[in-house]
Amino acid sequence: MNKIKYRLIVPLFIVSFVVLFPLCNDTNTINSINQNSLELSSSYFEEGFSLFLEGKYNEAIKKFDKAIAINPNDKDAWVTKGASYFQLENDVKALECFDKAIAIDPNFVLAWYYKGNVLHTQGKINDSLESYNKAIAIDPNYAPPWGKKGIILNELERYNEAISCFDKYLEIEPQDGYIWFQKGNSLYSTNKYLEAISSYNKSIEIESNNPLAYNNRGLIYILLKDYTSALSDLNKAIELAPLNYHPYYVRGTVYYNLEEYEKAIKDFTKSIQMNPQFGPSYFMRGLVYYTTGDYVKAELDYNKACRLEPNLCN
């Protein structure tokens, strides 16, 4: 009986050995299979990346998942999958992907940068700065973390630090009009008006369709009492963004200083129509009414401004 069993088992063992041994021993075959798998994974990634660039983020994620199923250590697939989730405003899943990419490669600068973006969106400012600092430490010649760090420091009113970050960014990417604009804002906030104008000039030279650059440069011209230049900038800002209330408010201030009171009232009224919750427009229109002797309307506007923004009336 044992012999019978032995006979049945031995042929099966031999067959298994004959079948498996060549697979285990033929490294060329193994390499061929691995290469084919990697090529398939890469193909899924490329398809996903194309979909990502087209803004088809859900479809892109499905392709990245297929790439990751074949090659779980594909850090590029993980980070671009995370970027897709970020575009879909799914911060939790985005962070999971970026953390996975970082676990695969702790020096993956792109993952640290994108992680910083998500944390900034979540309002986790210190954690965001930490991520950007990590990215900068890994590759100080990768510009984006410098720019984002500068923007956060600007928000924190740490203007001189922000300017340093923008300067570093612009050494690497000197043709980025938006960062020149941000640098102008920091310089404006530190009362370095002529330097701010220079930065806004550079921003406008590169990106001539940014209405905020004209608006903010116009504000500085008002402070410098160059009302002709201010009007030119504010007219351009309104041309580019006719539905934005703020350039009307600022231009109204110019007209007030030029004693063109009807035009000033018209602009302040336009600003109020677009944003009824913006107190300074009421305050300035009230000032025009007071100057022209219409005290009833002046008081109404003044009271409204004080209700909306009490600091205007202190």
The amino acid present at 169, given as its one-letter code, is: Y
For the chain, list residues with pLDDT below 50.
1-33
Distance CA 314, CA 311 (A): 5
Distance CA 83, CA 93 (A): 10
CATH architecture of 211-314: Alpha Horseshoe (1.25)
Distance CA 209, CA 178 (A): 11
177-189 vs 159-172: helix axis angle to the nearest 10?
Answer: 160
Domain definitions of the chain by residue range: 211-314
Distance CA 10, CA 282 (A): 97
Print burial letters for 242-272: b (CB count within 10 Å at least 16), e (below 16): eebbbbbbbbbbbbbeeebbebbbbbbebbb
Count other Cβ atoms within 10 Å, centred on residue 65: 13
pTM exceeding the 0.85 threshold for the entire prediction:
no
DSSP 8-state secondary structure symbol assigned to residue 174: T
* Predicted local distance difference test score (pLDDT) of residue 259: 97
Whether residue 286 contacts residue 294, with contact meaning beta carbons closer than 8 Å, is answered with no
The amino acid present at 121, given as its one-letter code, is: T
* Predicted local distance difference test score (pLDDT) of residue 6: 24
Q: For 99-125, what is each residue's pLDDT tens digit?
A: 999 999 999 999 999 999 999 999 999
Burial class (CB within 10 angstroms; exposed 0-12, middle 13-18, buried 19+) of 123:
exposed
